[in-house]
Structure formats: C-alpha cells, structure tokens
A and B are shown apart, each in its own frame.
Chain A
C-alpha cells in the first residue's frame, strides 16, 4: 500500500511575524521557513508505518513555489521514498490544495493519505477534510494513534472531551495531531541520500485544477494590543489588585 503525505512550507513556528504597515499581509521576506510542524508528524507516521511493514511506499507532496522543493527534500530525508511538487506562484487556499491532492490521489491510488491537522500560517484546519470529501473517502482528523489492521485503519482522535476511536475502511484520509509521534531528527547521511531521491515537478494545469483563490483578503492588521501590565511585589498585593482593581474575584 502506498501512502501519500502532504507537506506545506510555512514560516518557522518560532518566528513572530510582523504585519506589513500597508495592511496587505504579513512580512515573510527574509524570514526562516520550515516544514509545517504537523506535517513533520505526518511524514514521521507514514515512515513508521513503512518501517512496520504496513506500507510499501511513501510519497511526499507539496503545492506552492519552487522553494517547496526544500520541504520535500526534508520529507525524503525523514524517509519518504519520492516527492511530487505541484508548482505554482499563485496564492493557494485549502480548497485548491484539496483539489490538487484529489487529482494526485486519483493518479497514485494511495491506500492512505496523511496530512497535518492545520498549517500554522493560515490556521485553517480544512485541507484534509476537504480532500476526504472530494475523493469521497472516510476521514479521521486530529489523530493521536493510527493502526492499520485487517485492511482498515483504527484511529484514535483527540476531541474536546478526551479521546475517541474510529474504524475506517481504506483508502482513508488521516490528519495528525501533536501527540501522534515525535518526529525524528534528519541526519546528514539521510539529507545526502534525499538529494538523490526522485522529485517530480508538475503544474496545476497538468492536473486540470483551477487554483484561483475564492476568498479575498481585504486587509491584515495587528491584533489589538494589551495595555501594559504591572508587576506586583507579593501575593497580598496581587490579591488586593484582583479584588479591588480588576474586580474579577
């Protein structure tokens, strides 16, 4: 069984982004970019499934600009066997990415598609679910445990009150939550090996997908600033402030 893993190149999670002064977006020029943390977990899970013998091939996919090739090389250094880049300079929204992935699912026929639960830039949390809908596949979002048994997938999900377990027939779509696994560090020999693995570059038009954005961003602004706080000297001062000034207790 093949596994398709979708990875996104995003602003590194440690970077505190700045809103551009003209309100057109956030300034990501000269900012460190990395693989979306949830996608690293997705690649790690696919590779672990391969190491357990449940999977024969792991294909990493990314959609976006030429530099996404670096992200795909990282995925291959973790252990993906080959990669596909759907290259475009256009702004890609989740619906467009889901359509591109759907076309690739039709082409590659994977038994499982693994995505991160959300990208830390747009914070959408949509692509996996949209792909599942378009391909009419069952979905298990926010997975914290994935097992392939008897031709199906048993997935434990993180939900608001605790955990729930689902059984899905394959093929299926799974999106990863933080606690699914701890992604491995990529080693130098594996980075070197990843350079030799095949990376196919295609265009959205090759897949017959219109990627035009549907949602228009009118403006991006700074969130409202909190007023400067004060440091209190001791617990008594804190209690008195909470009681008399803030009146919250």
Chain B
C-alpha cells in the first residue's frame, strides 16, 4: 500500500497544509510519497524531502503547472495514480479544486475534509456545517481524499527522502491563468495561526475594524479573521472569512469580537482550544461555545484588553 500526497506549494516553499496532510497519510499506513507539481519548484521538492515520514518525492516540472490549474494538475496526478492506494490532498482552495477531478476520472467517490483516519478505508468527516460527524467507509480501489488540516498535527522535519523527477503531462489547453491578486499581510497565516482575533458586523466599518482589532492582533501576534457579515459589508477581505464556506481554523485562542455566532461561523472555529467572546448581547449564541464570555461593548473592552496585556 502506497499513499500519494499532493503537495501545496508556491513553487518556492511548501505550504503548511501539506504537513498536516502527510500526517494523515502516515496514519493510513504504508509508504508516503509526495508529488510536487509546479514550475521551477525544486526548492519546494527539497523541502518536501525533509518532512518526517515521507519516503519519496516526485517532482514534475513544466511551465503550465506553475499556477496550479485544476485541469493540468489533475492530469499530472492521474499520470502516476496507478501505483497508489490512497491519494490525499489538503482541504484548501487548491486541493478542493483538483481532488474531485482526479476522483471522477478514476471513477471513484471522493471523501471530503476528513478529520480522522479510523482505518485504511474508514474515515470521519463533519457534515451539516459540523453539526454532525459521519463515519464513512469507501469500497473503491483508490481512495481520493481531502484532509481537513486542523484535524491533524503537522508532520515534523527530519526526513531524508529521495527526489525523483517524473515526466510532466501535456497542458490541457482549455483553461489559462490570467492573474492573481494576493491580499498583502505580514501577519501569521489564518489557518496556521496560534491566536486569531476575529471581528463581526458590530465593528461597523472597515476603519473601525482596523483601528480596534489590529492593535489587539499585533499585541497577541495573532492573525485577523472575520465573520461573513463583516466580509460582505466590506470591513475585511474575503479570504479572512472564518466559517463553513470560508476558512476552517483551530487555533489555541480564538477571540470573537462583535460576532453573534451563527451556525455557519461556528462551523469554522468551534474546534479552537480556547474561545473568548466579547459581545454586548447576552443572548448571542457565541456565548454557548465560548470558554470565556465578556458581556461588554467591544469598543471599550478591546482597548482595555490591549492595555492590560
């Protein structure tokens, strides 16, 4: 039994989500190989070779693999899929984009967003916005899986895998990459942050959002997150959204400021170790999941909190 992990990378370095996926792969039992498909991604392949538990790194290099287009990456995975029992992707925007394409071409059902490996063919995954956990069993010959990164620890360093070059497939040709608009941020990445400070509609404006929450995040060395209401109102960029349809996070401390706690938001953060809620509505559902709730106006409580830290 050999397991293939599809690395997420930016051609220069490996993304953290890959490490959690390798950990899930080692729990399936068997040799773990990592595919790094990209362009001039030698550094990412070298980084993958040093991850503990990785037996071999396969490196495919071609210009059309540079931007991770689903059509091309899926074809690259399919070209080597025959020798694997499991194909694992991190459950990130990029993994979710490619994995079902691979599964459909192999005519197997895909299992999304697993949070636990029960055995080599049985997995746990949340459904209904995390309000239920399903234990599912796949009878397919190849298991194509996306891994919820917050469900698994990151694999450590200390591996010494060989890097093997594999032939790149031809480009699909029906889709092309035009451009990318990356949100600039020197904060920790939301999904990997140890502490997250998150704001909701109660902040009132994008200026207030920055003015009130940024100093707190700075003080704590935290990433900034937001509820859907705050994102839709334009207070924060889309990729800060925490929830069922945004990012799923599980930091050690999650500070929810002015967030009511709708089902869809809770789905994205209720596995956090410690949840703090600051809200002036005593009936807000967020208080039902918060370890520490402070019933107060966030515009006075947050500055006070900053001064006492």
Chain A residues engaging chain B, CB cutoff 8 angstroms: 11, 13-14, 16-17, 19, 26, 38, 93-95, 98, 117-118, 120-134, 137-142, 144, 154, 157-169, 172, 177-179, 213-223, 226-227, 229-232, 234-236, 238-239, 241-242, 246, 248-249
Contacts and interface: CB of A to CB of B under 8 A. Distances in A.
Contacts of B220: 249
28 contacts: A98-B104, A123-B113, A129-B98, A130-B103, A132-B101, A154-B178, A161-B239, A162-B237, A163-B180, A167-B178, A179-B231, A179-B238, A214-B140, A215-B139, A216-B138, A217-B135, A218-B137, A220-B132, A220-B133, A220-B134, A223-B132, A223-B133, A226-B275, A229-B293, A234-B294, A239-B309, A246-B253, A246-B274
A172 to B, nearest CB: 7
Given A141-B96, A219-B134, A226-B270, A246 B291 contact: yes
A164 B69 CA distance: 11
Interface string B144-165: 0000000000000000000000
Q: Which 8 A-B pairs have the closest CB atoms?
A: A129-B100, A214-B109, A138-B175, A130-B104, A126-B100, A138-B174, A133-B104, A165-B178
Contacts of A162: 180-183, 237-239
Interface in B168-185: 172, 174-183
B137 to A, nearest CB: 5
A69 B151 CA distance: 38
Contacts, number: 258
A241 B105 CA distance: 53
Interface stretch (B54-62, B123-131, B202-210): B123-131
A131 B140 CA distance: 19
How many B residues touch the partner, as a band? 35 or more
Given A26-B128, A95-B103, A249-B253, A235 B109 contact: no
B70 interface: yes
Interface stretch (B20-28, B79-87, B300-308): B300-308
B244 interface: yes
B295 interface: yes
B293 A122 contact: no
Nearest to A165: B178
A138 B294 contact: no
B122 interface: yes
Contacts of A126: 99-100, 103, 110, 112
A73 B151 CA distance: 40
A178 B243 CA distance: 12
A65 to B, nearest CB: 18
Contacts of B175: 138-140, 166-169, 172
A10 B195 CA distance: 34
B129 A120 contact: yes
Given A17-B131, A169-B174, A229-B289, A242 B276 contact: yes
Contacts of A142: 93, 97
